[in-house]
């Protein structure tokens, strides 16, 4: 009888990148990357996905590839659960994160665990970063750098491997548009401009395939600049872009509501309704339209 080795959870894809990169990708529950840099002094693991099970697989595969015997350094691009739930597999190693990532995990980690329990891969024990930085942390001999790039979240940080010219921007870059969670659009724009200056050869976002041209970065920068200035051209968006823009309009409305800025709140709910018009009338969109119309009415 032939026994085929199959992944415990979902098929894990494996690929080599540049001279020292190992890329692990899962397509379920959504496209997610974990990236490993086999540098002279350390092995760097960028993000740990949804739990210990897939990260044990990563460890086993690295062993088979001969990536052994060096000190492991884990890096979390940000404290969204799908980027750090597998940290426990590297307990005892250095786990690097922005100082505000630790704060987020301490205040929101348990709640996130309850809310998203269905996505856990293995029994997750929250294991926050134990080496924190504010602006930048450089492993000079390895030519690997971690730097704060607020955007998608306030703690969002990036990794740059200057030997291979590989940039890991976490969820600051996403196709077609990233998720806006905060009113930090000026900072977000600056972070993306910093990426442009780096001129990376390869960009590997948290949830998209590796990018070898700068198109996604340019598109995301145009988009964030547009949102920041309040000039987003809905007529120029295709259906996929409209679907990605929709949650951002609602989120922005909610953020302005928290700031008691009624005019901007109404403006963004109004934009959400225009996006829904362009998206057509699926049952889901009809419900959304009713919900937003109610919220608008309550605003007076
Ligand atoms: Zn993510």
- Residue 8 pLDDT > 70, yes or no? no
Q: Which token pair is 234?
A: 């809905």
Mean pLDDT (whole number) for 54-75? 97
- pLDDT confidence of residue 6: 46
> Which has the closest alpha carbon to 185: 230, 152, 228?
228
- How many whole angstroms from 298 Cα to the centroid of ligand 1? 33
Spatial distance between the Cα atoms of 167 and 164, rounded to a whole number of angstroms: 9
- How many whole angstroms from 49 Cα to the centroid of ligand 1? 8
- pLDDT confidence of residue 2: 45
- pLDDT confidence of residue 135: 98
- How many whole angstroms from 75 Cα to the centroid of ligand 1? 14
| Residues in Cβ contact with 174 at an 8 Å cutoff, skipping those fewer than 6 apart | 152, 205, 206, 207, 208, 220, 244
Mean pLDDT (whole number) for 231-241? 96
- pLDDT confidence of residue 171: 98
Mean pLDDT (whole number) for 229-249? 96
Number of helices (H), then strands (E), in the chain: 7, 12
**Would you kindly state where each structural domain of the chain is located, as residue ranges?**
12-229, 234-299
- Residue 3 pLDDT > 70, yes or no? no
- How many whole angstroms from 299 Cα to the centroid of ligand 1? 32
- How many whole angstroms from 179 Cα to the centroid of ligand 1? 10
- Report angle CA 182, 24, 221 to the nearest 5 degrees: 35
Q: 135-146, pLDDT tens digit by residue?
A: 999 999 999 999
For residue 280, name the pLDDT band (cuts at 50, 70, 90). confident
- Residue 44 pLDDT > 50, yes or no? yes
- pLDDT confidence of residue 200: 98
Mean pLDDT (whole number) for 29-44? 98
- How many whole angstroms from 296 Cα to the centroid of ligand 1? 30
- How many whole angstroms from 10 Cα to the centroid of ligand 1? 18
Q: Which residues, chain by chain, have CB under 5 Å from ion ligand 1?
A: 80, 82, 171, 206
Q: 110-151, pLDDT tens digit by residue?
A: 999 999 999 999 999 999 999 999 999 999 999 999 999 999
- How many whole angstroms from 300 Cα to the centroid of ligand 1? 36
- How many whole angstroms from 105 Cα to the centroid of ligand 1? 15
| Residues in Cβ contact with 88 at an 8 Å cutoff, skipping those fewer than 6 apart | 52, 124, 125, 126, 127
- Residue 108 pLDDT > 50, yes or no? yes
Spatial distance between the Cα atoms of 26 and 14, rounded to a whole number of angstroms: 9
Strand boundaries in the chain, DSSP class E: 12-17, 21-26, 32-38, 42-46, 71-75, 94-98, 131-133, 136-139, 144-148, 157-161, 166-168, 202-203
Spatial distance between the Cα atoms of 250 and 51, rounded to a whole number of angstroms: 30
- pLDDT confidence of residue 10: 60
**Which of these CATH numbers, 3.40.50.1220, 3.60.15.10, 3.40.50.2000, 2.70.180.20, describes 12-229?**
3.60.15.10
- How many whole angstroms from 63 Cα to the centroid of ligand 1? 26
Least confident of 8-12, 36-40, 160-164, 247-251: 8-12
């Amino acid at each position: 009888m032939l026994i085929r080795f199959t992944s415990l959870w979902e098929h894990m894809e494996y690929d080599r990148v540049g001279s020292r990169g190992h890329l692990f990708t899962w397509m379920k529950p959504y496209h997610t990357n974990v990236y490993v840099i086999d540098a002279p002094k350390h092995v760097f693991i960028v993000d740990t996905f949804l739990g210990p099970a897939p990260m044990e697989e990563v460890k086993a595969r690295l062993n088979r590839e001969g990536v052994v015997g060096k000190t492991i350094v884990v890096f979390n691009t940000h404290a969204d659960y799908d980027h750090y739930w597998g940290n426990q597999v590297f307990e005892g190693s250095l786990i690097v994160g922005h100082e505000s990532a630790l704060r987020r995990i301490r205040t929101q980690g348990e709640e996130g665990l309850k809310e998203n329990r269905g996505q856990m891969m293995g029994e997750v024990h929250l294991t926050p970063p134990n080496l924190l930085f504010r602006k930048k942390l450089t492993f000079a001999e390895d030519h690997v750098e971690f730097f704060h790039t607020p955007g998608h979240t306030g703690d969002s940080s990036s990794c740059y491997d200057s030997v291979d010219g590989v940039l890991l921007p976490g969820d600051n870059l996403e196709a077609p548009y990233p998720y806006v969670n905060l009113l930090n659009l000026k900072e977000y724009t600056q972070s993306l401009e910093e990426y442009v200056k780096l001129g990376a050869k390869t960009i590997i976002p948290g949830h998209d395939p590796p990018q070898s041209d700068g198109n996604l970065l340019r598109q995301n920068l145009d988009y964030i600049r547009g949102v920041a200035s309040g000039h987003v051209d809905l007529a120029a968006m295709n259906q996929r872009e409209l679907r990605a823009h929709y949650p951002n309009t609602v989120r922005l409305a909610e953020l302005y509501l928290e700031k008691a800025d009624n005019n901007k709140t109404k403006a963004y709910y109004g934009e959400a309704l225009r996006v829904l018009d362009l998206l057509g009338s699926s049952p889901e969109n009809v419900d959304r339209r009713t919900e937003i119309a109610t919220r608008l009415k309550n605003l007076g």
